[in-house]
Amino acid sequence: MIGIFDSGIGGMTVAHAVEQLLPEYSLIYYGDIARTPYGPKSPKTIINYSIRNTEFLLNKGAELIIIACNSASSVATETLRKHFQVPIIEVITPAAKCAIESSRNGQIGIIGTRATVKSGIYPKTIGLRCPEFKVHQTACPLLVPLVEEGWLNKRETKMILRRYLHPLKDKQIDTLVLGCTHYPLLKKPIQARIGKRVKLIDSSTQTAQYVKEFLVRNPEIVSRQGRVTHRYYASDTTETALKVAEHIFSRPMELIIE
Amino acid sequence: MIGIFDSGIGGMTVAHAVEQLLPEYSLIYYGDIARTPYGPKSPKTIINYSIRNTEFLLNKGAELIIIACNSASSVATETLRKHFQVPIIEVITPAAKCAIESSRNGQIGIIGTRATVKSGIYPKTIGLRCPEFKVHQTACPLLVPLVEEGWLNKRETKMILRRYLHPLKDKQIDTLVLGCTHYPLLKKPIQARIGKRVKLIDSSTQTAQYVKEFLVRNPEIVSRQGRVTHRYYASDTTETALKVAEHIFSRPMELIIE
């Protein structure tokens, strides 16, 4: 079984992509809604929560863990790999790899939470492969609450996006990484504001693709017995959580609270 | 020692008012920044966190607890009073009392988090004293993240306020309760949008006043030995937390992380 965790519901964009790309695998998701959001919090706190989430998934039978949260991927991957035996897949490497392949002028933009931007993980990952590339980052802390509220098309959201993206507009980037699993839900207004010529990199689909390649190379890691199940757990529920979840999956969803 | 807890830094508006009104008392504050915000979360989760926060303060020597958070006051007061022996003071009753005294036409507006509005605590508290009053509520979930980001004067904040306050404008309210400890930081733009004739009730100052009256009636409850200390603890730190704290107190602040 594939285990996926996130700080809340944003990571469901990854789960949805995994469901679509790997329909033959069972999947278990855990959204830490009771402690959401992770983005503004400290590395120490995010690491503690990530350990707890991983333990939850392993107890339910997960054989591989996807950290479907850029903030947790940025600061907790190393610790999780030390703590646990199962493969830990994060969302940064697939997105960074794709950004490098996409960029022609070597000017890459990154938008993410404060935790992700502050960790410097994207510039580091990209710089290790392509030292000549320039990486321009901007933290966009209000986008997560806007998405969680379902304000995907509101005028205020577009204005806030314009404010956040403004510094990147000047940098002549040709590629922009949506470095937070919530952001694919704002793809359309982001594309409108950053310009048609900039390629948007969605870490969710890139990560699902990466997991697929990993499982082709390591088919023994995740078992495929019995009926395929997709179970979605959360540490709490909110009025908007289910709405956003159903928006992501375009189907009625059930959130098991545990 | 007076103990005060909040989901984060918003409750410091209460702590600041207590410091000013009761300078002869030592005070200990606990902001649960690691789990902030409480407003969108379920009553069960908010109650669990509130018990934990109260235990923290009691272990540090608190003799009276102020729940400086409308969401926690709304859903956790009863449980805390059952669990703990010390007096538990919440922010709803003082604000509701003041709103009743202020209103001339009996039309009172309430703005708060989803948890506070959904609990129905303000209409219930006001209705028990004045059944003929009409209480109009609106949840304003984005105001907390906007305040935490320090976007107190931004154009987007004003637009979002206009959207939230619009339904209340039609109700001819003459009194508006700022039913979340973050909102006093937005007093000016709220007043501008709701109109000069509407009286704003700030639960922070009302609660401090209430505590003062309580301590006059019950002077034995809180000891006053030794040097007066004001200690501010938090379960995590964020880049903006200290900035907002220093904005509230207009002085350099220290947050002890525990």
**Segment A172-188, tens digit of pLDDT:** 999 999 999 999 999 99
Give me the mean pLDDT over the A122-129 stretch: 97
Q: What is the ipTM of this complex?
A: 0.90
How much is the pLDDT for A14? Answer: 96
**Which of A11-20, A234-243, B28-37, B120-129 comes out lowest in average pLDDT?**
A234-243
For A27-53, what is each residue's pLDDT tens digit?
999 999 999 999 999 999 999 999 999
Distance in angstroms (rounded) separating the CA atoms of residues B146 and A16: 30
Residue A158 in contact with partner chain B when CB distance is under 8 A? no
Position A237 scores a pLDDT of: 86
* Structure confidence at residue A240 (pLDDT): 83
How far is the C-alpha of A87 from the C-alpha of B177, rounded, in Å? 52
Tell me how far apart the alpha carbons of residues B140 and B156 are, in angstroms, rounded to a whole number.
14
Separation of alpha carbons B59 and B67, rounded Å: 16
Instruction: Give contacts of A149 with chain B, Cβ < 8 Å.
Output: 141-142
Residue A144 to residue B166: CA distance in whole angstroms = 24
Q: What is the pLDDT of residue A150?
A: 87
For tokens 């939850």, the residue is: A56
Angle at B99 between CA B98 and CA B104, to 5 degrees: 115
Q: Cβ of B40 and A237 within 8 Å?
A: no
Confidence of residue A239 (pLDDT cuts 50, 70, 90): confident
> Are A193 and A163 contacting, i.e. CB atoms less than 8 angstroms apart?
no
Tell me if residue B175 falls in helix, strand or coil: strand
- Give all strands (DSSP E) within chain B, no chain letters: 2-6, 27-31, 64-67, 88-90, 107-112, 134-139, 175-179, 199-202, 230-234, 256-257
Would you call B156 and A159 a contact, using CB atoms and an 8 Å cutoff? yes
Predicted confidence (pLDDT) at residue A226 exceeds the cutoff of 90:
no
The beta-carbon neighbor of B238 closest among A35, A41, A156 is: A41
Residue of A35, A40, A149 with shortest CB distance to B141: A149
**CATH 3.40.50.1860 intervals, chain A:** 2-90+205-257, 92-203
Q: What is the CA radius of gyration of chain B?
A: 17
Q: Can you tell me which residue has the tokens 């949840």?
A: B139
DSSP-derived letter for residue B240 is T
- The answer, yes or no, to whether residue A10 has pLDDT greater than 80, is yes
**Number of Cβ within a 10 Å radius of residue B3:** 27
Q: What CATH architecture is A2-90+205-257?
A: 3-Layer(aba) Sandwich (3.40)
Residues A6-25 have a mean pLDDT of: 95
Helix (H, G, I), strand (E, B) or coil at A197: coil
Cβ of B58 under 8 Å from any chain A Cβ? no
Chain B hits for A34, Cβ within 8 Å = 35, 41, 45
| Nearest residue of chain B to residue A160 (CA atoms) | B156
pLDDT of residue B123 exceeding 90, the answer is yes
Q: How confident is the model at residue B69 (pLDDT cuts 50, 70, 90)?
A: very high
State both tokens at B200: 């704003």
Asked if the peptide bond before residue A219 counts as cis, ω within 30 degrees of 0, the response is no
The CA-atom distances, in angstroms, between A26 and each of A161, A248, B94, B210 are 36, 19, 53, 56
State the Cα–Cα distance between residues B9 and B241, nearest whole angstrom.
7
Q: Is A180 a catalytic residue?
A: yes
pLDDT tens by residue, B229-252: 999 999 998 878 888 899 999 999
Q: Do B148 and A40 touch (CB under 8 A)?
A: yes
- Model's pTM, two decimal places? 0.92
pLDDT of residue B134: 97
**CATH number, span B92-203:** 3.40.50.1860
Q: Are A40 and B159 a contacting pair at CB < 8 A?
A: no
Say which residues have a Cβ less than 8 Å from residue B119's Cβ, sequence separation at least 6: B43, B74, B75
B158 touches chain A (CB under 8 A): no
Does residue B215 have a pLDDT over 80? yes
Mean pLDDT confidence for B160-167: 97
pLDDT, tens only, A22-32: 999 999 999 99
